[in-house]
Chain A
């Protein structure tokens, strides 16, 4: 038990959203940020999970289904159900898709390192998929659209320069429980919205088992911690378990590096991103 019963509603009220309002903003965001830099298309990795299914749906609505290219990139230990779910989304949206089995390239690499642990292998797979997406973005003249949600980004539950890499990310400011609400509202198949979240490095893997807590609990705590800036004492008074609070705060702090550009040793008077500050949308 990590949070009091009163905070255990299926959707914690402060994190409830008006899906139509949010959908409108995100569709506008994709259309605007893609087109103004001279692109029409996006590519994304479609895992069959709720995050990438939602992003594919929003992108199809923003740019038209023919301007969305989904890459389904299973490894031989991926759950076959993930691929089935991904194909269901492809069919429902009418978007382009290509399937690339990443097993040969992953296995070829790890022949040199047969003792590599599960984490190394998982990170390598995430980065392999990223290199495929960036290569394909050139081939398709498309931007890579990201699928990391705010909960993952805050917890660092993702691979730096792997699944965390993208050109634009429409859902990076939505907590996982908000992703579920929006996905449900825009018509992502219910079986995908309701299935247990998984990085799917092997069949049966579960985010919530690895993180040690349920997303709806984590999101409640993150809401008070990040959005409302409650102190640890105030969080404890709300009824959150101290070990839970400390674990989440530790994760947010220790993964800060993943959310930033590499640290540059300062020498000049105008160092990139420190005192050389230009908007990304410079001139657009």
Chain B
């Protein structure tokens, strides 16, 4: 953390090339350079930023192992600033994950494998990916952080667990296709995410960094709208349109302490009550004869 407790955040609202990992690595390099010049200390790329989203059968050939030349190259991008990027990660047993990777000072610090893989409507992720099995926070130079990928935040428990782990910020890389046209000024999806992200930030008194991609894949548009939200729910910076952009916010990490003094929601949270009630619900569900 910088001495004055401030952090320069950058959200790289980019348009990845579909199934062209080499081109995307090169683009990441350019965005990292640009962000570095702007003084960014933590740069977040969208979900699957290295590959594009609607990969279908390209998943396997787009994948990277957690060790090897490509990973070395990615680690190297984080020498001067921390980076979150999205990739298809292949495990040695050939399971493929939709993952977000946090790099700092030339090292891989944390991997979050997307837990909730949307497989309905226009989405088909479970057909191609294995689901992650944990929500874990991790220490950064800017406090404790947790990552959730896109659909993960449509499940309340994801962010709740990270909150109880004591995160100061939740980072949410996303590839959200826009849909839902009415007379509103925003798409239905944009409206929903705005509501969700602000709700999490305010209820969990944490910073919330939402980075969505832009561009089109097979006719689907990605609506951008990347935003940095403070622990009181205020939007500190947002790129409202669907253009490529580097969204910048200089955040005061001391706001987490101040917000939690004003609204001691976490102090009053009853983990043991939640656990015992969940256990009861689970017990009642599983003991049913059919």
How far is A43 from B178 in the complex, measured between Cα atoms in Å?
A: 27
* Given A279-B18, A283-B17, A283-B18, A18:B184 Cβ within 8 A: yes
Q: A16-B183, A21-B187 in contact; A32/B216 too (CB < 8 A)? A: yes
Question: Do residues A16 and B57 form an inter-chain contact, with CB atoms below 8 A?
Answer: no
Residues of B within 8 Å of A277, CB to CB, are 56-57
Contact yes or no, A28 B219, CB < 8 A: no
In the complex, A276 has a CB within 8 A of chain B: yes
Distance to closest chain B CB from A14 (angstroms): 8
The docked-state distance in angstroms from the alpha carbon of A210 to that of B217 is 36
A174 to chain B, nearest CB (A): 9
B58: A residues at CB distance < 8 A: 278-279, 282
Q: Which residues of the other chain, A, contact B217 by a CB distance below 8 angstroms?
A: 279, 281
> Is B218 interfacial (CB 8 A cutoff)?
yes
Residue count of chain B within 8 Å CB distance of chain A:
24
A33 adjacent to chain B (CB < 8 Å): yes
A279 and B218 in contact, given A21-B187, A284-B17, A284-B18 (Cβ under 8 angstroms): yes
CA distance A22 to B20 in the complex (A): 29
Q: Is the CB of B55 within 8 A of A279?
A: yes
A260-284 contacts to B (CB < 8 Å): 276-284
The contact of A279 among B54, B178, B184, B242, by CB within 8 Å, is: B54
Interface residue from B56, B186, B187, B216 paired with A28 (Cβ < 8 Å): B216
Residue-wise interface mask of B (12-41) relative to A, using a CB-CB cutoff of 8 A (1 in contact, 0 not) = 000001111000000000000000000000
Q: How many Å from the CB of B97 to the closest CB on chain A?
A: 19
The answer to whether A203 has its CB under 8 Å from any CB of chain B is no
If A28-B242, A279-B18, A283-B17 touch, whether A16 touches B221 (CB-CB below 8 Å) is no
Nearest B-chain residue to A174, judged by Cβ: B181
**What is the CA–CA distance of A16 and B55 in the complex, to the nearest angstrom?**
33
CB < 8 Å: which of B18, B178, B184 contacts A281? B18
Given contacts A25-B221, A32-B216, contact A18 B182 (CB under 8 A): yes
Does A87 interact with chain B (Cβ within 8 Å)? Answer: no
CB distance from B214 to the nearest CB of A (A): 9
CA distance A16 to B180 in the complex (A): 11
For B67, list chain A residues within 8 Å (CB).
none
- CB–CB A22/B181 < 8 A: yes
Residues of B within 8 A of A281 (CB): 18, 54, 216-218
Contact of B183 among A18, A29, A278, A282 (CB under 8 A): A18
Q: Is B173 an interface residue (CB 8 A)?
A: no
Does any Cβ of A come within 8 Å of B225's Cβ? no
Contact B57 A32 (CB under 8 A): no
**Contact between A33 and B216 (Cβ–Cβ < 8 Å)?**
yes
Q: In this assembly, does A160 line the interface, its C-beta being within 8 Å of a C-beta of chain B? A: no
Q: Assess whether A7 is interfacial by the CB under 8 Å rule.
A: no
Task: Knowing A28-B216, A29-B219 are in contact, say whether A282-B19 is a contact too (CB < 8 A).
Answer: yes
Report B160-212 residues with CB < 8 Å from chain A CB.
Answer: 178, 181-187
Across the interface, which residues of A come within 8 angstroms of B19, CB to CB?
279, 282-283
Q: Which of B18, B56, B187, B221 lies in contact with A29, CB distance below 8 A?
A: B221
Whether A21 pairs with B185 at a CB distance below 8 angstroms is: yes
Instruction: Choose among A16, A168, A281, A283 the residue with the greatest number of B CB atoms under 10 Å from its CB.
Output: A281
B246 to chain A, nearest CB (A): 19
* Alpha-carbon distance between A50 and B20 when the two chains are bound, in angstroms: 39
Q: Does A17 contact B (CB under 8 A)?
A: yes
Residues of B within 8 A of A22 (CB): 181
Could you give, for residues 31-67 of chain B, a 1 whenever the CB lies within 8 Å of some chain A CB and a 0 otherwise? 0000000000000000000000011111000000000
Q: How far is the CB of B116 from chain A (nearest CB, A)?
A: 22
Q: How far is the CB of B19 from chain A (nearest CB, A)?
A: 5
Q: Answer yes or no: B215 CB below 8 A from chain A CBs.
A: yes
What per-residue 1/0 map shows which CB atoms of A234-264 lie under 8 Å from chain B? 0000000000000000000000000000000
**Chain A residues, CB < 8 A from B185:** 18, 21
Distance, CA A4 to CA B242, complexed state (A): 40
- What per-residue 1/0 map shows which CB atoms of A70-104 lie under 8 Å from chain B? 00000000000000000000000000000000000
What is the CB-to-nearest-CB distance from B239 to chain A, in angstroms, rounded to a whole number? 14
C-alpha spacing A24/B187, complex, angstroms: 12
Supposing A33-B219, A278-B57 touch, asked if A21 and B18 sit within 8 A by C-beta, the answer is no
In the complex, A247→B58 CA distance in Å?
41
The list of the 7 closest CB pairs from A to B, nearest first, reads A277-B56, A32-B216, A280-B218, A277-B57, A279-B54, A16-B183, A281-B18
- Further 5 A-B residue pairs, CB within 8 A, beyond A16-B183, A18-B185: A22-B181, A32-B215, A278-B56, A278-B57, A279-B55
A-B contact pairs, 15 of them (CB 8 A): A25-B221, A25-B242, A28-B216, A29-B216, A29-B221, A32-B215, A32-B216, A168-B219, A277-B56, A278-B56, A279-B19, A279-B54, A279-B218, A280-B218, A283-B17
